[in-house]
Structure 1
């Protein structure tokens, strides 16, 4: 196939690279042997070396085998924030061939119950603060609990207990994580792994358009994506980097591009259990991270924090943004304020997740998600015919590469619809320019059709973000008796800023074709978001549909 992106490839990056066929944990254990005393994790002041991290992982793995007879292929649920316990439990499961199933900690009992049943988790590992809803969800054979305080230094651990007041969990209901860590690793049996077939993790899609699906990612998927990221970023292993891990581990972006990539490269990880702009500014100033993978709302939150100018953020050399579109205006402003380079990228849970990024050295095209990663192919196909489109043509984005998932857990029909002849059908609408740079226009399901015209909400969002009073914006299609759908804009104003609906409409009138302009504007205190900060456009769409139904009735 033709690969127009190869002519634009940075000289420092190879498109064809060797991809190791090894378990995900292998690189971590190699780094522990090479840098045993190096700090692997920093968690609220607590430091854990590479030597101690792999030691705890093996002890916990042995305890899972000894106490619960966990075997290769068994699923173990993990519902924890970014924490040492999450990293330890994940690595321990992989060491014994079990499949860690990451849960969103914000799930309610009903959502937890569905994921436990769907994945078939035998054991659940949970935070004490989540105990009530996890126990209510049920479905597992056994439970293990831990608390944030378990990995805090004195007096912070004592103060945390006083403030959080975690519940007391009877030993008859669940074992304490720390007790398992005290057991010996003697007798640990590490089974052979087939990297291309055996699963390294089960990650669930957000489920904003229906029932969540478990994405099966193999060891080869994850190690391939880690290798691709390192090649693309041109990271020199002789240089010690510190990674700010504010992205949650239950999300593929945080799981691969932050935690696993960092450990495989021998980095120090700063584990952030909860995103708060003020706390994050303090963390950056104190621990001096060099790499910061994030999502647009994180950068927006930092930019608009009133105390941002008080903190030194100069240690950050490179930011990677993904999971949602990064408005060009915000990207440029963050770079101006911090001096860091932001690389906008693209990916999906189904691709481990990263498939594209703008070059670190070379031509960056703001508004584009960049070029395909090494060993990754991309096509743009017509939505109706499936035929390949020429440069500039807008159609569905198809991806092929070693990072593409094995399939959806226990969902062969959905797998067949998404994976066809080795190509991942992303459901995203995009276009490639003549140099092979990819531009994501929108999600196929988010497209607005008004009066026969196709309208892509992201284009409207970009215009709204240019208004000086707008902090956040999201355009959606709402029911319209005449046009079928029409455009409505939801806007969050900057603190202290003022704007009227008419001012926003007039602003758009100057910048958008008539059929694309919003017909109404609603001001909100905040936009609905997922736990990784992605604006949930569909939530607003469904709300408007319900309002329309109520008005008719």
Structure 2
């Protein structure tokens, strides 16, 4: 075989890119509905045209392969067309969280040094000042005008499969968000893994109601648009649109998270129209009361997804187990996904014996490409050629996996990741606070919420209202402690090395 022919075969066998696969899908499914938003239906033909026009706008503004584009918007159709246009050009879309406090948002923007910010009109005022003052394109009349002006030929696709597609932000152990780079390769393999593992059909719909700056909606909206299904875009949890969606569409995976299931169950009971078809529902079963899992699955006629994945890994490593409709689960053991390898390791990165707890390490094609501009964090996370998740599991005799604990005291609240260190640093800015530890408390609505134990000094210690106000200025709403417990400095339980024993504080919260 000649070298030239080898190169040609290699090019033909490449994974491809999200932009190219969307374009191929759009040409085959031109008249099908790609996106449904409120009363508007956008066909694949129309969406492809808008994506091509936007790619010309981005090119005219000087964006090129490898550049970053910051996107600050609520859920709306433009969100997806921005990602697809950037994908065509090899530009990375950094999905900014509009719920963040000003300093957090400024950090996320500074981190990626964007060549352009595309911002929903009424969020422009929330943009913090950042070095370089990147130009801003508002989603609205001006955005539509720029698209309309693009005529004739459009820029060619230049992206490659290992190019970054999106940056999704995830909190680090220091609290400030890190930018996880998801490549075209990883996104395509996540789509393939999800559909094959859970039996999602090509034309199944997906309801993107959770924020598109999160993995759940982002991954599966793009996967749907590469396969010919309809993405039903809803801006946040809105009961009536969600009930309408399940009564009128065949849905592959219906995302349900702690904090909204109870209201959704009551809505289903009162809704007049029957559920059309849902193949799989739910996520994060560990954080949902078992009786609610049984109730919602019985109403939907669909099994509940007993998931364990992350922004960095996608669906794997252990999101294969399903809880049958109407069943109250008594154990929540996970099942390892196909298309990935995992091992459980001790602190020295040696594999532990079966039945022993160990940190889960994974490798496979759905993995992200590392954190943006975070060399030390990447070296630690990918040591030995495996991605170390920082979560401890135990493998059972039947091969299933039991979750043991969250390393570094991660709090999961209604689908959001919260790291105590970030909250603690904010509270310690008040000089009257001498010690603070933030721990997790069980919550019937959100699964878990942060609770702060605080020791104060001085003649006039801060009031709870003052600390609440401090957190309100510095932190996103979901990160703010729900309760403050004021205790003496000597009351903090400590290890022999002087570290606060958080598990002891958590025990105090239990009835």
Q: TM-score range by the shorter chain?
A: 0.7 to 0.9
The equivalent position to 1:180 in structure 2, one of 146, 150, 175, is: 146
**In structure 1, what is the equivalent of residue 352 of structure 2?**
389
Q: Secondary structure at the match of 2:51?
A: helix
Shift of 1:292: 0.9
Q: Which whole-Å CA distance do the structure 2 matches of 1:224 and 1:77 have between them? A: 24
The equivalent position to 1:374 in structure 2, one of 319, 323, 338, is: 338
**In structure 2, what is the equivalent of residue 107 of structure 1?**
100
**In structure 1, what is the equivalent of residue 381 of structure 2?**
418
Alignment of 1:24-63 (within 5 A): 24-63=18-57
Q: Is the 8 A contact 1:112 1:137 kept in 2?
A: no
Q: Is the 8 A contact 2:198 2:280 kept in 1?
A: no
Q: Secondary structure at the match of 1:445?
A: helix
Q: Is the 8 A contact 1:20 1:220 kept in 2?
A: no
Q: Secondary structure at the match of 2:259?
A: helix
Q: Is the 8 A contact 1:61 1:93 kept in 2?
A: yes
Is 2:409 the counterpart of 1:446? yes
Distance 1:354 1:417, change over 3 A: same
Distance 1:390 1:282, change over 3 A: same
Shift of 1:207: 5.1
Alignment of 1:8-27 (within 5 A): 21-27=15-21
Distance 1:535 1:430, change over 3 A: farther
Q: Secondary structure at the match of 2:307?
A: strand
Is 2:230 the counterpart of 1:268? yes
Q: Which whole-Å CA distance do the structure 1 matches of 2:444 and 2:125 have between them? A: 35
TM-score (norm 2): 0.75
The equivalent position to 1:280 in structure 2, one of 242, 245, 248, is: 242
**In structure 2, what is the equivalent of residue 8 of structure 1?**
none
**In structure 1, what is the equivalent of residue 487 of structure 2?**
548
Is 2:194 the counterpart of 1:229? yes
**CA deviation vs aligned residue, 1:199-232 (integer Å, no higher than 9, x gap):** 1111111458511111111111111111111111
Is 2:211 the counterpart of 1:217? no
**In structure 2, what is the equivalent of residue 189 of structure 1?**
155
Q: Which whole-Å CA distance do the structure 2 matches of 1:387 and 1:253 have between them? A: 32
The equivalent position to 1:246 in structure 2, one of 209, 217, 236, is: 209
CA RMSD of aligned residues (A): 3.6
Q: Which whole-Å CA distance do the structure 2 matches of 1:347 and 1:315 have between them? A: 25
Distance 1:253 1:369, change over 3 A: farther
Shift of 1:440: 2.2
Distance 1:210 1:359, change over 3 A: closer
TM-score (norm 1): 0.69
Distance 1:289 1:352, change over 3 A: closer
Alignment of 1:64-143 (within 5 A): 64-66=58-60, 68-134=61-127, 136=129, 139-143=132-136
Q: Is the 8 A contact 1:397 1:429 kept in 2?
A: yes
Distance 1:89 1:224, change over 3 A: same
Q: Is the 8 A contact 1:323 1:347 kept in 2?
A: no
Q: Secondary structure at the match of 1:377?
A: strand
**In structure 1, what is the equivalent of residue 221 of structure 2?**
259
Q: Is the 8 A contact 1:246 1:273 kept in 2?
A: yes
**In structure 1, what is the equivalent of residue 7 of structure 2?**
none
Shift of 1:136: 4.8
Q: Which whole-Å CA distance do the structure 2 matches of 1:303 and 1:535 have between them? A: 25
Q: Which whole-Å CA distance do the structure 2 matches of 1:88 and 1:549 have between them? A: 54
Q: Is the 8 A contact 1:201 1:218 kept in 2?
A: yes
Q: Secondary structure at the match of 2:99?
A: coil
Q: Which whole-Å CA distance do the structure 1 matches of 2:438 and 2:106 have between them? A: 38
Shift of 1:131: 1.2
Is 2:260 the counterpart of 1:294? no
Shift of 1:392: 2.6
Q: Secondary structure at the match of 1:391?
A: coil
Q: Secondary structure at the match of 1:316?
A: strand
**In structure 1, what is the equivalent of residue 164 of structure 2?**
199
Distance 1:486 1:282, change over 3 A: closer
**In structure 2, what is the equivalent of residue 519 of structure 1?**
none
Distance 1:403 1:55, change over 3 A: same
Structure 2 gaps of 5+ residues are 1-12, 421-436, 447-475, 493-511
**In structure 2, what is the equivalent of residue 508 of structure 1?**
none
Shift of 1:43: 0.4
Q: Secondary structure at the match of 2:393?
A: strand
**CA deviation vs aligned residue, 1:83-126 (integer Å, no higher than 9, x gap):** 11000111111111111110112123322211111100121111
Q: Is the 8 A contact 2:105 2:128 kept in 1?
A: no
Distance 1:324 1:354, change over 3 A: farther
Q: Is the 8 A contact 1:430 1:438 kept in 2?
A: yes
Q: Is the 8 A contact 2:345 2:359 kept in 1?
A: yes
Shift of 1:139: 4.6
Q: Which whole-Å CA distance do the structure 2 matches of 1:192 and 1:487 have between them? A: 47
Distance 1:341 1:113, change over 3 A: same
**In structure 2, what is the equivalent of residue 398 of structure 1?**
361
Shift of 1:540: 4.3
